[in-house]
Amino acid sequence: MEKLKVIYEDNQIIVVEKKPNIPSQADKTGDIDMLTIVKQYIKEKYNKPGEVYLGLVHRLDRPVGGIMVFARTSKAASRLSNTIRENKMKKTYLAVVDGILENKKGIMEDYLHKDQRNNISKVVDKNKKNAKLAKLDYQVLKVSEKNKLTLVEINLHTGRHHQIRVQFANSGHSLFGDQKYGIRGKGKQIALWAYKLTLIHPVSKKELTFTDEPNWNNPGWGNFID
């Protein structure tokens, strides 16, 4: 069983680090997934008999690592799901992108269409059937002039399929190590990390912020070690 890094836990929620290349939930590969790993952790730690309840309220793409929150009660799951629908859960990512961005900060707004069959999304005209608005803002944190790579911080305003990956690729600055949409770092780990999560606790109603940094020694990230 995968060793779990727990960032925070109480009797309503548990916040953990998802390692890259682990599915958020079970899929057709049959590989171990985060939902199973966290359930097993709770079962063993609290010596719980029978099936452990755990609510999956959001997901990260399989190759992406970083912070995830799970609900430990159905009440917490319902309330967290509502905050996500109301866009009150703030997700901030770090990414390494190809090239040097012209603007040090900016907003990207596009319309995306998901190709279910091929599991990819594309930027399309807003009038295309089933096109959905995708919006994010970013700021440049650091530039590697030598390797022509840029470290950016990204705040999602919407949660579309492969949104960050597609929007940056469409802008000409695909993510390092992105095997679907990228041009740099083929065969390497994608340099996209969910590093900050701000949420309203489902019971106490307090605003909580959690952070978790990537492994800066890995390819892509390693270009930004001082």
pTM of the model: 0.94
Q: What is the mean pLDDT of residues 74-81?
A: 97
Q: What is the pLDDT of residues 208-219, one digit of tens each?
A: 999 999 999 988
- Domains annotated for the chain, with CATH where assigned, are 6-213 (3.30.2350.10)
Residue 91 forms beta bridges with which residues? Answer: 197
147 CB burial (10 A radius; 0-12, 13-18, 19+): middle
pLDDT tens profile 3-26 = 899 999 999 999 999 999 999 999
Question: What confidence score (pLDDT) does residue 221 get?
Answer: 95
CA dihedral 122, 68, 219, 157 (to 10 degrees): 40
Q: Is the pLDDT of residue 90 over 80?
A: yes
Length of the chain counted residue by residue:
226
**Is the distance from CB of 83 to CB of 197 less than 8 angstroms?**
no
